[in-house]
Amino acid sequence: MKATAPPAKRRRGPRLAVLALVFCSLLVPIAFLFNRFPAVYVTDERPQQEIDLPSFDRVAFESGGSVNEDVFKKTSGSSSVSHHGIDTGPSIVRTEPKVIVLPPPKIELVLPPPKVEPKPEVKPVPVSVPVHHNKKINVDKIRPPRVQSADEVEKAKACQLEFGSYCLWSIEHKEVMIDTIVKRLKDQLFVARSYYPSIAKLKGKETLTRELKQNIQEHERVLSESIVDADLPSFIKTKVERMDQSIARAKSCTVDCNNVDRKLRQILHMTEDEAHFHMKQSAYLYNLGVHTMPKSHHCLNMRLTVEYFKSMPLDPNDSSAHTFNIPDNRHYVILSKNVLAASVVINSTVSSSEDTENIVFHVLTDAQNFYAMKHWFARNSYRESAVNVINYEQIIFENFPEFGTQQLYLPEEFRVFISSLERPTEKSRMEYLSVFSHSHFFLAEIFKDLKKVIVLDDDLAVQHDLSFLWNLDMGDKVHGAVRFCGLKLGQLRNLLGRTMYDQQSCAWMSGVNVIDLEKWRDHNVTENYLQLLRKFGNNGDEASLRSSALPISLLLFQHLLYPLDERLTLSGLGYDYGIKEKLVQSSASLHYNGNMKPWLELGIPDYRKYWKRFLTRDERFMDECNVSP
């Protein structure tokens, strides 16, 4: 008897190969969709974090710069903190340059109204700021409110909480659809899809069903190839008329209205989901654009660095070095990693000053941009002023290794969404609050020989002489800054913890800040900062460290702040499209806080021109890197 051969095992190889091919065919289009962005140079420019807080009533600013505290009324409400889809708990977390476009969870924090306690208040001394107008400045005139419905307010709030300033940019750049035929094709397709399932179920309507299906397929094919009317084929009118006839016949049939309504709602939800998906992609590209260095600026830094090492120092003796530590000179401090931004700050300040002989600028930068900065300011002169470029990271590493935070941090910006629960349809706005970073608190240690400095942000343009700031008598105060009373410490109780603070103390803005270094040392500000840092920034990660800059800055200076005149700095030029041109022209300095910086293509065009007029033209390097003025 012949032995029976065992049954052959089934081959599983071809099946696995087919399954792998199907799986790859699904993944490749998705990967292509989410990675079809051009190569960019990512830097740690100031990405913002978001805060949603209840607001106090409108603040009235008088011409002398004083703030009328009587106009404040207590409100209580909810506060939500978002971090691009990552649950951060009750603390604020600093966002990173890489933006994950996900709907953020909203953490509701119920804030009781801050208690009003009588206390002596330091009123700002009226300072003669060289401006062209003497009228009263009111916040409503600066940013005129637009009456919106409750639905519009909620939609705007939800959009800004999720996407930030992208919502403002998208509204400003919204294009009205003028291609009427394309719009009509989409409307016809919408209606035909809603009727088709119901018609297909009717007996005796097979011909109409085939016509609807054919017309739907033809419309889908045309819309996949044409976006505007100019791209449409010449016979499109025939297709439109044929679809109208089919829809009319479908409407004349007796169908279940509930089925049609259900299908319409289904298509509507699908359309809304698709629109939201495209908004996410657009917001991702927007955030990618505002948080990255332009390629031309990266090229400029590289060219300057290479040229520095190729050529001999332009000023080997550094004849102006002796002026860097003279206390009687006027010392300005700028923290920047952007050559052109720092150049505009210096050039605008010098151009607006009558006497520049004793002006010294100290530019603190990181190791990566140090040589580019040094070569740029050695090639370009700014009247009689002197420019001292300092490698911040090297100084901290060599002289103050115990500080730990050796990295250079630029002024931190926080996106604050303020709404009124009492009048939700009248007052809802987004502000960008910029405060000192951790690097600012070591200025007294770096400049031990100096008595007083003025700190300028690198997204600033000066239009009037700032020399009057050197004559300010701040008394026992350490820090002179413009207050932002739209946000008070009482609204940040969940972020400040159990630390003792004055609930009615206003926040303040960086931009133009006067620092009395002698009073700074007398009040041990740096030591107090290190104590607060151990409390608020002890989580060990950089995001927690950078987010701690807000509570630390507000707590340290709540009793040491000297309020400067409101007309000194006009803020909001990096996100607010509604600032009047006359106000921009007459302000002493312009602060481009926000995402849309003036050196970016996404910068607001109406405000960029005031920044670009102070841009130093170095034809050799700027033309090679195609840097547009």
Whether residue 283 contacts residue 101, with contact meaning beta carbons closer than 8 Å, is answered with yes
How does pLDDT run across 337-356, given as a tens digit for each residue? 999 999 999 999 999 999 98
Residue 317 lies in a domain: no
Q: Tell me, yes or no, whether 450 and 530 share the same domain.
A: yes
Q: Tell me, yes or no, whether 278 and 307 share the same domain.
A: no
Q: Among residues of the chain, what percentage have pLDDT more than 90?
A: 34
Point out the least confidently predicted range of 8-12, 217-221, 500-504: 8-12
Which pLDDT value is given to residue 552?
92
The residues, ordered by sequence, that sit 6+ positions from 64 with a Cβ below 8 Å of its Cβ are: 124, 126, 565
Residue 481 lies in a domain: yes
pLDDT at 151 over 90: no
CATH (domain of 513): 3.90.550.10
Q: Tell me, yes or no, whether 307 and 195 share the same domain.
A: no
| For range 113-132, the mean pLDDT | 40
Residue 437 lies in a domain: yes
pLDDT at 78 over 80: no
Q: 3-class secondary structure for 36-66?
A: CCCCCEECCCCCCEEEEEECCCCCEECCCCC
Q: Tell me, yes or no, whether 387 and 277 share the same domain.
A: no
Q: Tell me, yes or no, whether 305 and 283 share the same domain.
A: no
Write down the mean pLDDT value for the chain. 76
Q: Model pTM?
A: 0.70
Residue 69 lies in a domain: no
273: phi then psi, degrees, rounded to nearest 5: -65, -40
Q: Tell me, yes or no, whether 493 and 420 share the same domain.
A: yes
pLDDT at 255 over 90: no
Burial 558-579 (b: 16+ CB within 10 A, else e): bebbbbbbbbbbbbbbbbbeeb
Burial of 233 (0-12, 13-18, 19+ CB in 10 A): exposed
626 DSSP 8-state letter: T
Q: Tell me, yes or no, whether 272 and 305 share the same domain.
A: no
The residues, ordered by sequence, that sit 6+ positions from 85 with a Cβ below 8 Å of its Cβ are: 100, 102, 103, 104, 105
Which pLDDT value is given to residue 510?
95
Q: Tell me, yes or no, whether 553 and 459 share the same domain.
A: yes
Alpha helices in 411-498 (DSSP H): 443-446, 493-496
Residue 23 lies in a domain: no
Q: Among residues of the chain, what percentage have pLDDT more than 70?
A: 71
Q: Tell me, yes or no, whether 617 and 552 share the same domain.
A: yes
Whole-number Cα distances in Å, 80 to 108, 397, 611: 5, 38, 34
| For range 43-54, the mean pLDDT | 46
Q: Tell me, yes or no, whether 210 and 307 share the same domain.
A: no
Whether residue 300 contacts residue 340, with contact meaning beta carbons closer than 8 Å, is answered with yes
Computed from CA positions of residues 497, 500, 506, 509, in that sequence, does the dihedral angle turn out positive or negative?
A: negative
Which pLDDT value is given to residue 55?
37
Q: Which of 400, 403, 610, 572 is nearest to 484 (CA)?
A: 572
| For range 413-435, the mean pLDDT | 74
Residue 169 lies in a domain: no
| For range 42-55, the mean pLDDT | 44
Query: What's the total number of domains in the chain?
Result: 2
Residue 598 lies in a domain: yes
pLDDT band, residue 563 (cuts 50/70/90): very high
Instruction: Pick 195 or 140 by higher pLDDT.
Output: 195
Q: Tell me, yes or no, whether 526 and 538 share the same domain.
A: yes
Q: Tell me, yes or no, whether 354 and 455 share the same domain.
A: yes
pLDDT at 301 over 50: yes
Whether residue 441 contacts residue 525, with contact meaning beta carbons closer than 8 Å, is answered with yes
- Six token digits for residue 522: 């007398």
Q: Residue 348: give the domain boundaries.
A: 295-311+323-625
Which pLDDT value is given to residue 315?
55
Residue 29 lies in a domain: no
pLDDT band, residue 14 (cuts 50/70/90): low
